[in-house]
């Protein structure tokens, strides 16, 4: 069983990870909402444990975004003791269950197992997205327009993958930075870096019927071209 654990309290996250692993789960940890959203959208987890109070993107926002794409993913939210509003908002945003901090580990484990039992069989993975004239095959890591292969650098690929996975929705700069961060590479943080890559990707997407719109102060949005040439 693959779990995503989104928790910014490092001590709690370490303890939970160790206990969950001991209980037989494999655990991926996200220390903030941007990483949590990125991982939940891009990987297949059997369930997610999502703290509501997360830095960068709060847990409720993460949940809403993920729910739109993955309606069947079981999500248990963690809320603060006095967070009645959070519990209600969490359930409204699509959480399957919640636990109030502090909690005992056996309770978390029991709730998770109950959630996993209730889960419908996982739907088959989404087929390669084919939008406009763009064909995108994530498994084969190939993107093409009208059969012409796009040459994309790894960062350009990650950027396109992120924009496509959230097409018609605003992708925040923090999410782009998170998408570029992995074990080996720090995300580039030079000012203007994201704009440079957006500019390059826009040029490569010419003729695809898709365009990347800048949403000032928020981020970017991939959408069908309003006036296709
Ligand atoms: Ca927190």
Residues with CB under 5 A from ligand 1 (ion): 8, 51, 53
Q: What is the pLDDT of residues 136-185, one digit of tens each?
A: 887 778 888 888 888 888 888 889 989 988 888 889 888 888 888 765 66
For position 198, what pLDDT does the model report? 92
Work out the average pLDDT over 117-127.
Answer: 53
Domains within the chain, CATH numbers bracketed? 2-119 (3.40.50.2300), 129-224 (1.10.10.10)
In the reported structure, the alpha carbon of residue 61 is separated from the centroid of ligand 1 by a whole-number distance in angstroms of: 14
What percentage of the chain exceeds 90 in pLDDT? 47
Q: What is the pLDDT of residues 57-69, one digit of tens each?
A: 999 999 999 998 9
For position 173, what pLDDT does the model report? 87
Nearest to 151 by CA among 204, 110, 220: 204
In the reported structure, the alpha carbon of residue 67 is separated from the centroid of ligand 1 by a whole-number distance in angstroms of: 20
Integer CA distances (angstroms), 104 to 12, 96, 111, 114, in order: 12, 19, 11, 16
For position 184, what pLDDT does the model report? 60
56 pLDDT higher than 90:
yes
How many Cα atoms within 13 Å fall on the side-chain side of residue 23?
A: 19
In the reported structure, the alpha carbon of residue 157 is separated from the centroid of ligand 1 by a whole-number distance in angstroms of: 31
- In sequence order, which ranges of the chain are alpha helices (DSSP H)? 10-22, 33-42, 59-69, 84-92, 105-118, 154-165, 173-180, 193-204
Work out the average pLDDT over 22-34.
Answer: 96
In the reported structure, the alpha carbon of residue 14 is separated from the centroid of ligand 1 by a whole-number distance in angstroms of: 14
82: left (phi over 0), alpha (psi -120 to 50) or beta: alpha
228 pLDDT higher than 50:
no
For position 48, what pLDDT does the model report? 97
């Amino acid at each position: 069983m693959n779990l995503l654990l989104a928790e910014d309290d490092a001590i709690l996250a370490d303890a939970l990870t160790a206990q969950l692993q001991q209980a037989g789960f494999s655990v991926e940890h996200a220390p903030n909402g941007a990483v949590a959203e990125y991982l939940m959208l891009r990987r297949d987890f059997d369930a997610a444990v999502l703290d509501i109070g997360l830095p960068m993107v709060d847990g409720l926002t993460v949940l809403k975004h993920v729910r739109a794409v993955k309606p069947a993913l079981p999500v248990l939210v963690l809320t603060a003791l006095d967070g009645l509003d959070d519990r209600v908002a969490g359930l409204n945003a699509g959480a399957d269950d919640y636990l109030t901090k502090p909690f005992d580990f056996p309770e978390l484990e029991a709730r998770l197992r109950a959630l996993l039992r209730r889960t419908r069989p996982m739907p088959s993975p989404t087929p390669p997205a084919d939008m406009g004239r763009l064909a995108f095959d994530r498994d084969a890591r190939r993107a093409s327009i009208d059969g012409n292969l796009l040459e994309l650098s790894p960062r350009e690929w990650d950027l396109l993958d992120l924009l496509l996975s959230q097409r018609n929705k605003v992708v925040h700069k923090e999410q782009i930075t998170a998408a570029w961060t992995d074990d080996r590479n720090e995300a580039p943080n030079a000012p203007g870096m994201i704009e440079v890559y957006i500019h390059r990707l826009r040029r490569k997407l010419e003729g695809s019927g898709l365009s990347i719109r800048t949403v000032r102060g928020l981020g970017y949005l991939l959408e069908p071209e309003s006036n296709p040439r």
